[in-house]
């Protein structure tokens, strides 16, 4: 039975050496330290940029003559370690959701684990709206502060260069975070217009709200527990009923907007009463 092999991560390496006079090209040989088939690459210039499986190798290089297909002896063996260099974000955590008290800007502190041998980092930040025009900063320290507008999802990457000037080309990981806009204020609800035949339930607008989640609860006059009887989502600040059942009600309204924390619920209790005429009609209907 064949055993499935684990896939080995691959990293880009970049090698450079002193060119040899009149050499037409070079052959680079990487022999895995644990044994196995060596990796061979050909290049015309005295440098190589290549994806190589992570691991420990013995490196050797030889040159090829200008006019004939003759190779020089292999160079001395040099150990080469291909390691995975990755960015580990510290702040903000990948997937974090933050709430901004300010409607216009929110300071984000980017911080990541420093990587050995890195000269400088390039941090790139963008949102859905700024996909084409990301913020790009270069920094020697593994951190950066940036003010961003609230109410969006943001993405960021960190690329880095080695101290020797070689860029560790890697498929950078993209991290994300969300900055929610300021929490919406509770919509004020005051006394309601309660005609026995029509009930117009109203509330005041909450600044910045795009919609309202509204719930209507009912209880009998002699009871204490309310039960949900109706709910809706509306962009208006009004909900109209024709002849609600008589009894006690509670109206609850929550203001909502995309990427802003919903408000705390505003609520108001009221009683729908019949008219005297309605009662007299009901009593007259009882035949003696």
Partner 1 sequence: MIRVAAFLILTLPLTVFAASYDDDMPEVRRKALKEQKEKSCDSTTEYIKALSFMRANQDFVVTETAARQIADKISKGCTGAADRFAKILKMLKGIGVSDKKSLEMAFEFSRLPDYVQNNFTEIFTKSFLTEFFDYDFTTALALAFELSKDYKGDPVQVRNDFIELVRFCKDGQKLDLPTQLCAEYTIKLARLSQYFEKGVREPFYKLYTTLRDKEEFSLDIKTSLDLSYNILKGGPKAIDNFFSAYDYASKPEGLGYAQDKAMKFAMKMAKRSYMGKEPVVIPGFDYHNAVQRELASEEENK
Q: Between residues 135 and 218, which has the closer beta carbon with respect to partner 1?
A: 218
φ, ψ of residue 284 in degrees (nearest 5): -70, -25
Decide the pairing of beta strands 175-180 and 96-99: parallel
Tell me: does residue 251 bind partner 1 (CB under 8 A): no
Please give the radius of gyration of the chain, using alpha carbons only, rounded to the nearest integer: 35
Binds partner 1 (CB under 8 A): choice among 247, 261, 262, 268:
247
Tell me: does residue 143 bind partner 1 (CB under 8 A): no
Kindly write out the interface string for residues 178-197 of this chain, putting x where it contacts partner 1 by CB under 8 A and - elsewhere.
----------------x---
Q: Between residues 78 and 282, which has the closer beta carbon with respect to partner 1?
A: 282
- Measured CA angle at 112 (ends 106, 116), to 5 deg: 155
Give the HSE-up count for residue 17: Cα atoms under 13 Å, Cβ half-sphere: 20
DSSP state of 225: -
Tell me: does residue 225 bind partner 1 (CB under 8 A): no
Q: How far is the CB of 270 from partner 1 (least distance, A)?
A: 11
Q: Which residue reads 């064949």 in tokens?
A: 2
Binds partner 1 (CB under 8 A): choice among 182, 184, 248, 251:
248
Q: Which of residues 201-220 bind partner 1 (CB under 8 A)?
A: 220
Tell me: does residue 146 bind partner 1 (CB under 8 A): no
Q: Tell me the C-alpha to C-alpha distance, in Å, between residue 29 and each of 7, 41, 46, 58, 188.
A: 22, 7, 14, 8, 75
Tell me: does residue 250 bind partner 1 (CB under 8 A): no
Local structure of 280: helix, strand or coil:
helix
Region from 65-73, 105-113, 170-178, 241-249 binding partner 1, contact rule CB under 8 A: 241-249
φ, ψ of residue 277 in degrees (nearest 5): -60, -40
Tell me: does residue 56 bind partner 1 (CB under 8 A): no
Q: Which residues bind partner 1 (CB under 8 A)?
A: 194, 220-223, 245-248, 271-276, 278-279, 282-283, 285-286, 288
């Amino acid at each position: 039975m064949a055993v499935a092999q684990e896939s080995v991560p691959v990293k880009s390496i970049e090698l450079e050496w002193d060119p040899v006079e009149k050499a037409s090209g070079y052959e680079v040989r990487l022999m895995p330290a644990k044994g196995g088939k060596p990796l061979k690459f050909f290049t015309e210039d005295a440098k190589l940029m290549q994806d190589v499986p992570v691991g420990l190798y013995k490196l050797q290089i030889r040159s090829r003559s200008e006019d004939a297909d003759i190779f020089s002896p292999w160079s001395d063996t040099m150990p080469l370690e291909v390691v995975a260099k990755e960015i580990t974000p510290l702040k903000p955590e990948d997937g974090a959701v933050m709430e901004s008290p300010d409607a216009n800007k929110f300071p984000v502190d980017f911080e990541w684990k420093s990587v050995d041998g890195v000269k400088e980092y390039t941090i790139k930040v963008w949102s859905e709206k700024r996909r084409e025009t990301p913020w790009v900063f270069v920094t020697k320290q593994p951190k950066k502060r940036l003010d961003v507008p609230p109410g969006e999802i943001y993405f960021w990457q960190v690329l880095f260069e080695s101290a020797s000037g070689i860029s560790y080309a890697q498929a950078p990981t993209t991290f994300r975070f969300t900055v929610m806009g300021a929490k919406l204020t509770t919509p004020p609800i005051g006394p309601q217009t309660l005609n026995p035949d029509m009930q117009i339930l109203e509330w005041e607008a909450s600044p910045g709200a795009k919609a309202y989640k509204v719930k209507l609860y009912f209880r009998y006059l002699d009871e204490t527990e309310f039960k949900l009887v109706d709910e809706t989502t509306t962009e208006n600040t009004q909900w109209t009923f024709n002849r609600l059942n008589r009894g006690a009600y509670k109206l609850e309204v929550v203001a909502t907007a995309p990427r802003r924390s919903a408000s705390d619920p505003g609520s108001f209790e009221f009683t729908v009463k019949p008219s005297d005429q309605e009662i007299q009609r009901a009593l007259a209907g009882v035949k003696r």
